[in-house]
A and B are shown apart, each in its own frame.
Chain A
Amino acid sequence: MPRQGLVDLGPFGAFLKVAPYLTRSVGVTLEFTVVAAIFGLAVGLIIALMKMSRYRPFRTLGTLYTWFFRGTPLLVQIFLVYFGLPQYGINLPPFLAGALALSLNSGAYLSEIIRAGIESIPVGQMEAARSMGMSYGLAMRRVIIPQAYRRMLPPIVNEFVALLKDSSLVSVIGAVELMLASRQLSSATARPFWFYTYAAVYYLVGTTVFTQLGTWLERRLKEYE
């Protein structure tokens, strides 16, 4: 980065100059968010099913999982994965470690959303499905989930917005996403206010797009009811 040159350009000139670099780092932030969203949903579904299981050991395991991941700071979880696991020979590169920690964390929150969504469907629906001779899995797939996911959508979008913001925490383990890129530019130019403002604007655009997308989807789904 040409340091002195950037400062001379003033806040807007500097922004235009670093925009390609920042945009690339936004790409990494989005990668974190999307990867953690997908794996978080998978983890969340499994944990939710465990928490609704008729077998107590599964329920206990599911409850312990959410208890831990919602009850400890995400930063501690990231450190445990990135700095803690190598002690046992598990060395993950920053991106993998960060994505893993984010997925496990959002999985805990998403499992609660999924469980609440499924439990909001009247028991009569499951009874009617099982009475036809459907297995539990088939009843879930054909009857419960198609109704529940409409109700889950708004809180899931909120969770994705939170995920986008929380991905900034992985900057501390050296994954060059939007936050770390901004920190590098700030210290190189001694103009932290400029670069953290750009970061804020980027995050704001991201969260706004997510929220709008969610609202649009919600409206689309309402039309089918």
Chain B
Amino acid sequence: MSKPLADGAAEPMPGTPVVEFRGVSKWFGDLHVLKNVSLTVKRGEVVVICGPSGSGKSTLLRTVNYLEPIQEGQVLIDGYPIGRRQVGGHWVEDTQANINRMRSEIGIVFQSFNLFPHMTALQNVMEGLVTVRKMPPAEAEGAARQTLDQVGLGDRMAHRPSKLSGGQQQRVAIARALAMRPKVMLFDEPTSALDPELIGEVLSVMQEVAREGYTMLVVTHEMGFAREVANRIVFMDNGEVLLESAPEQFFRDPGHARAREFLGRLLWHAN
């Protein structure tokens, strides 16, 4: 990847918040899955969210583009609340048009890729540019080709997802999100569905995305990636953010019993 990935990557004001969770709470019925979460992700930061399964990390990530509605608090993107706002003391859901527009500026990569199987890799990457951004198809194709080149799939553009390996599919999914030049890239356990030998290619593309200066919020169990790429590690358990710390400190000693226990189990598995 030689060419820069994003216009949005070199933002004029580093350090301003891109994603801000303010007292976010969510329930599934009686189950309190997010408990008063507050967290700020600044421009250009790579934040890794980790924690045991069922701790609410994926749910938290999915509140950023309002795939998961919340019942309390707010999630702000570039200072603007997504999904719900307070108008005259009442909470109201934002218009679909507003939600859609904001979503088009938030990239997300799913655990199960979710590529469109009836389209080629190239068409997958072009789709949002043409139908949502209304870019002329020729221009969109150029942008899509360039993005696919950057994730190393220049020779797979005409392939359908079913003809690609899991690692290649996930790289197409990353390209699909990147092509929209999003303000933030969300990764929801992007390597968890992959065979071990395919994880590396996806992680190295993610590392490149980080190097381009993208703001990234990553839910993952890949502690190697967290140690090398993350600016900050957030540890969640039971719907709560238990701690935030720099990776060096987190891996030396997270300073919290449950985080220590979690790390111990992971390292045990890694060896």
Question: Chain A: residues with CB nearer than 8 A to chain B?
Answer: 122, 124-125, 127-136, 138, 142-143, 146-147, 224-225
CA–CA, A122 to B114, complex, Å?
Answer: 9
Count of B interface residues, CB-CB < 8 Å = 27
CB < 8 Å A-B pair total: 62
Contacting residues, chain A, for B112 (C-beta < 8 A): 122, 124
Query: When the two chains form their complex, are residues B103 and A124 in contact, meaning their CB atoms are under 8 A apart?
Result: no
Query: When the two chains form their complex, are residues A134 and B132 in contact, meaning their CB atoms are under 8 A apart?
Result: yes
Interface residues of B in 86-135 (CB under 8 A from A): 96-97, 100-106, 108, 110, 112, 114-118, 127-128, 131-132
Query: When the two chains form their complex, are residues A138 and B110 in contact, meaning their CB atoms are under 8 A apart?
Result: no
Query: When the two chains form their complex, are residues A225 and B162 in contact, meaning their CB atoms are under 8 A apart?
Result: yes
Q: Which of B104, B117, B176 is within 8 Å of A133, CB to CB? A: B104
Q: Which of B67, B115, B131 is within 8 Å of A127, CB to CB? A: B67
Query: When the two chains form their complex, are residues B67 and A133 in contact, meaning their CB atoms are under 8 A apart?
Result: no
Query: When the two chains form their complex, are residues A124 and B132 in contact, meaning their CB atoms are under 8 A apart?
Result: no
Query: When the two chains form their complex, are residues B114 and A132 in contact, meaning their CB atoms are under 8 A apart?
Result: no
Known: A128-B110, A134-B128. 12 other contacts (CB 8 A): A124-B112, A124-B114, A127-B110, A131-B67, A131-B108, A132-B132, A133-B128, A133-B132, A134-B131, A135-B97, A136-B96, A142-B131
Contacting residues, chain B, for A136 (C-beta < 8 A): 96
Which of A125, A128, A132 gathers most chain B CB within 10 Å? Answer: A132
Q: Give me 25 A-to-B residue pairs in the complex whose CB atoms sit less than 8 angstroms apart, sorted by A's number.
A: A122-B112, A124-B110, A124-B112, A124-B114, A125-B114, A127-B67, A127-B110, A128-B116, A129-B116, A130-B100, A132-B128, A132-B180, A133-B100, A133-B105, A133-B128, A133-B180, A134-B128, A134-B131, A138-B132, A146-B118, A147-B117, A147-B118, A224-B118, A225-B160, A225-B162
Query: When the two chains form their complex, are residues B100 and A134 in contact, meaning their CB atoms are under 8 A apart?
Result: yes
Contact A128 to B132, CB < 8 A, known contacts A133-B101, A225-B162: no
CA–CA, A133 to B100, complex, Å?
Answer: 4
CA–CA, A219 to B65, complex, Å?
Answer: 39
Interface membership of chain B positions 203-245, coded 1 if the CB is closer than 8 angstroms to chain A and 0 otherwise: 0000000000000000000000000000000000000000000
Q: Which residue of B lies closest to A132 (CB)?
A: B128
Contacting residues, chain A, for B105 (C-beta < 8 A): 133
Query: When the two chains form their complex, are residues B106 and A131 in contact, meaning their CB atoms are under 8 A apart?
Result: yes
Within the complex, what minimum Cβ distance (angstroms) separates B128 from chain A? 4
Q: Which of A134, A138, A225 is within 8 Å of B117, CB to CB? A: A225
Within the complex, what minimum Cβ distance (angstroms) separates A188 from chain B? 55
CA–CA, A28 to B117, complex, Å?
Answer: 41
Contacting residues, chain A, for B101 (C-beta < 8 A): 133
Within the complex, what minimum Cβ distance (angstroms) separates B202 from chain A? 17
Contact A130 to B103, CB < 8 A, known contacts A138-B131, A142-B131: yes
Within the complex, what minimum Cβ distance (angstroms) separates B94 from chain A? 13
Within the complex, what minimum Cβ distance (angstroms) separates A136 from chain B? 8
Q: Which of A125, A135, A146, A147 is within 8 Å of B100, CB to CB? A: A135
CA–CA, A119 to B127, complex, Å?
Answer: 22
Contacting residues, chain A, for B114 (C-beta < 8 A): 122, 124-125, 127-128
Contacting residues, chain B, for A130 (C-beta < 8 A): 67, 100, 103
CA–CA, A135 to B128, complex, Å?
Answer: 11
Contacting residues, chain B, for A128 (C-beta < 8 A): 108, 110, 114-116
Contacting residues, chain A, for B117 (C-beta < 8 A): 147, 225
Which of A122, A134, A225 gathers most chain B CB within 10 Å? Answer: A134
Q: Which residue of B lies closest to A143 (CB)?
A: B116
Q: Which residue of B lies closest to A150 (CB)?
A: B118
Within the complex, what minimum Cβ distance (angstroms) separates A137 from chain B? 10
Contacting residues, chain A, for B116 (C-beta < 8 A): 125, 128-129, 143, 147
Within the complex, what minimum Cβ distance (angstroms) separates A93 from chain B? 43
Which of A125, A127, A128, A134 gathers most chain B CB within 10 Å? Answer: A128
CA–CA, A146 to B106, complex, Å?
Answer: 25
Contacting residues, chain B, for A224 (C-beta < 8 A): 118
CA–CA, A146 to B104, complex, Å?
Answer: 22
CA–CA, A132 to B129, complex, Å?
Answer: 9
Contacting residues, chain A, for B67 (C-beta < 8 A): 127, 130-131
Contacting residues, chain A, for B65 (C-beta < 8 A): 131
Of all A-B residue pairs in the complex, the 5 with the closest CB atoms, nearest first, are A133-B104, A128-B114, A132-B128, A124-B114, A133-B132
CA–CA, A113 to B96, complex, Å?
Answer: 29
Within the complex, what minimum Cβ distance (angstroms) separates B2 from chain A? 27
Contacting residues, chain A, for B100 (C-beta < 8 A): 130, 133-135
CA–CA, A128 to B188, complex, Å?
Answer: 12
Contact A142 to B127, CB < 8 A, known contacts A128-B114, A130-B67: yes
